Structure 1
Amino acid sequence: MSRIRSILSEHFPNDEIAAHGSAIRFTPDNEQHIVKLVELAIAHQFKICPAGSMSHIEAGDFDDSIVIASSEHLNSLIDYSPDDLYITVGAVMRLRDVNSHVTDNLLSFVFGNLDYDGTVGGAVAVGLSAQFDGETVPIKRSVPSLAFVTPYGKLIRVGAVTLKSVAGYDVPKLLVGSRGQFGFITSITLRLSQNAPANCITMAGFGESCPTIIRPHWGALDASLSHVERNLKSNLDPHGVFPGA
């Protein structure tokens, strides 16, 4: 048994721990287990790769110093307020499944109309954008609030369900497109709109006609970080718990 697996076995049920190539796959049943995982990573100096539903993770991608943390069990409907036009879901709910919870009220989540098989958390982590009637729209406009486990092992909710943001740094937008480098996203609040399907929905920057769908680019992580974000990364994750996915 590897050193890391032995450590995890002392704190979590065996059914949450499995081998994934040379790495360890950890599938927590709840958010508090993710908090504990981060605490252990700091204490025992290993790294965590947030992996959602594991759809983009190959067995040979990681060595035995990495714990691949899947949010597979965090897929529930947490809160829904049709009057306030928002829904909160677990990070691994499929993007295309969100609208099944809101159509009875003639509402929709516009990104839920994409022919895209990814999860809500994955779409937020890569900073998904799409074209609606010719306009490029980033998903961050539809994420007023989210919950995540920080690199210090704290579960916090950031943002607020309001139509107008208050002054200050918009932390949810920092997490959108961060590809798992600032923490482990556990749940996301999405802004809804009146149910009016777009005439054309494509992944932004790819293809010229509907309904062409191309997967988001999974490029080099460091190149996607601005100077400010690099400084934030070094301060928010001094132990390097979340190297990015």
Structure 2
Amino acid sequence: MFELIEPIATVSFSKVVTEAFLALGMRNYWDGYFAGRAAPLGLAPAEVVHAVFYNFADGEVARHVPWVWGKTTPEEAIAVRERSSATVLRRGIGVLAEAPGLVRVADLAARAAVSAPTEGRALYAALRTLDVPAEPVARLWHAATLLREHRGDGHNAALLAHGIGGTEAHVLMALTLGMRAEKFDRLHHLPTARLAAVVDGLRDRGFVDAVGGFTDAGRQTRERIDALTDELAAPAYDELSADELDELIAGLELIAAARYKRSDD
């Protein structure tokens, strides 16, 4: 489900959505990212957004929040994000956007998306306060976003339970992808001394070896975090019967195939 839902939700981070936020007066991609993704939290201060998002380095959020709220409001940011994200998704799936089956897929996804527990899941709970869009493509995007952030909140809990901080999580991700930490796009901007201190801390805990690669213990910890993340995400789909879940998966696979084909075109 993660592999099928994630590409739908993350159209929010595409060029079209960024341009929609730039039109509001945002300075760059990250202004739009924080305005759109943090908007359901209202006028939360940077410290709160930092805590909820979990994996940004100290000071990153504060470069954008609350500055963005001088250019737009949370309500406007929510509307712009939904509208532009639905536009991207509609273009991506082509004729499927008007197919009767899309309504069914969007409805099943939305049922799952609004049924999950909210306890301990601040961003998901904030999204649950928003109205579910009536238009099917927008409803599918909204449902995917809810499911993504529900999983994300659970992932943060799994990281926390294993004593892995946000920047440390990016180092583990880089190693999972087979690259050195300083080459990872979410880490290369950090001061060299700061990144070295994070890697040294993971080395002291036995997660990183002398040359900056995974140890067996580090890899096993990453695998445990991923397994717990999956386990915590699963209740979102308990609302659906086995047949309905199969139907949802089949519909999402068609959407994924359509998006892949159009990206090749």
Determine if the TM-score, normalized by the shorter chain, exceeds 0.5: no
Tell which structure's C-alpha radius of gyration is larger. Answer: 2
Structure with more of its chain in helix, by fraction: 2
TM-score (norm 2): 0.27
Q: Which has the higher strand share?
A: 1
